[in-house]
């Protein structure tokens, strides 16, 4: 099979791990995602992952309820570490070698993020899971994904969510929502579409980093994406 992408950054939202639950991690969903990643890795693809924490705690939501924004964001970063450990466990049960790299130092459970070390892990066919976002408050894990993708010279960012692309409005609320097959960075910013934050969109636009947004719960969707099949929405 002819690969379109050989090095990818998968942005996995915390909500993608919930399945039908309203909070936390659904193990069946987690194992299905791990299998999807394994099947893609087995094609010879280098895979790095940035994982969110919205299924446990979302910093910006805490700040709107009266918490200090920086403190709330640090809590959200710790939630991503919990998700990273869960994903690592699921992947290693499939005999994949993984490394968790954290933007906040916690040596007992994760390596500190060092760019050259991350590149070396990828060269050795290990799955690298980036946690704790950028390590700084006021930045989302979307921004962390854009930053890490550029640092490791990924060819594309795959953003896995609960919906199968970018719509003109929330398809989970509005039945008449219209999906975009392809959309430009400027259109996303001008239309105020919220699926990807403006800072991440601008960073990718400035560095010509394509983003593909899709529903991770669909069968073999990641494998299809690296082979160049049409899935979700292409942001370029």
Let me know: does 156 contact 148? Beta carbons within 8 Å. Answer: no
Let me know: does 180 contact 126? Beta carbons within 8 Å. Answer: no
The per-residue pLDDT string of the chain (236 residues; one tens digit each, 9 = 90 and over) reads: 789 999 999 999 988 898 888 889 999 999 999 999 999 999 999 999 999 998 898 766 666 677 899 999 999 999 999 999 999 999 999 999 999 999 999 999 999 999 999 999 999 999 999 999 999 999 999 999 999 999 999 999 999 988 888 888 888 788 888 888 999 999 888 887 777 888 898 999 999 999 999 988 888 899 999 999 999 999 98
Q: Is 162 helix (H, G, I), strand (E, B) or coil?
A: coil
* Dist CA 216 CA 212 (whole Å): 11
Q: Is 133 helix (H, G, I), strand (E, B) or coil?
A: coil
- What's the DSSP call for residue 2? -
Tokens matching residue 117: 């070390």
pLDDT at 60: 65
Query: 158 phi and psi, to 5 degrees?
Result: -105, 115
pLDDT at 112: 97
Query: 12 phi and psi, to 5 degrees?
Result: -110, 115
Neighbours of 53 (CB within 10 A): 26
Which residue in this structure is represented by tokens 């639950």? 21
As assigned by CATH, the class of the 7-235 domain is alpha beta
Strands 7-12 and 46-51, sheet pairing:
parallel
- Break the chain into its structural domains and give their ranges: 7-235
């Amino acid at each position: 099979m002819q690969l379109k992408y050989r090095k990818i950054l998968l942005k996995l939202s915390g909500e993608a791990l919930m399945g039908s639950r309203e909070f936390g991690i659904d193990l069946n969903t987690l194992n299905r995602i791990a299998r999807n990643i394994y099947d893609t890795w087995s094609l010879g693809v280098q895979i790095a992952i940035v994982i969110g924490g919205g299924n446990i705690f979302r910093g910006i939501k805490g700040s709107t309820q009266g918490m200090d924004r920086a403190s709330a964001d640090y809590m959200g970063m710790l939630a991503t570490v919990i998700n990273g450990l869960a994903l690592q466990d699921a992947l290693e049960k499939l005999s994949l070698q993984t490394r968790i790299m954290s933007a906040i130092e916690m040596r007992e459970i994760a390596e500190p993020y060092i760019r050259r070390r991350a590149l070396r892990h990828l060269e050795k066919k290990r799955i690298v899971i980036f946690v704790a976002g950028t390590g700084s408050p006021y930045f989302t894990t979307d921004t962390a994904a854009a930053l890490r993708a550029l640092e490791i010279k990924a060819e594309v960012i795959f953003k896995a969510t609960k919906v199968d692309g970018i719509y003109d409005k929330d398809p989970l609320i509005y039945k008449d929502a219209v999906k975009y097959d392809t959309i430009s960075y400027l259109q996303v910013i001008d239309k105020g579409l919220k699926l990807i934050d403006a800072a991440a969109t601008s960073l990718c636009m400035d560095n010509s980093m394509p983003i593909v947004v899709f529903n991770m719960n669909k069968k073999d969707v990641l494998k299809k994406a690296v082979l160049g099949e049409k899935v979700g929405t292409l942001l370029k």
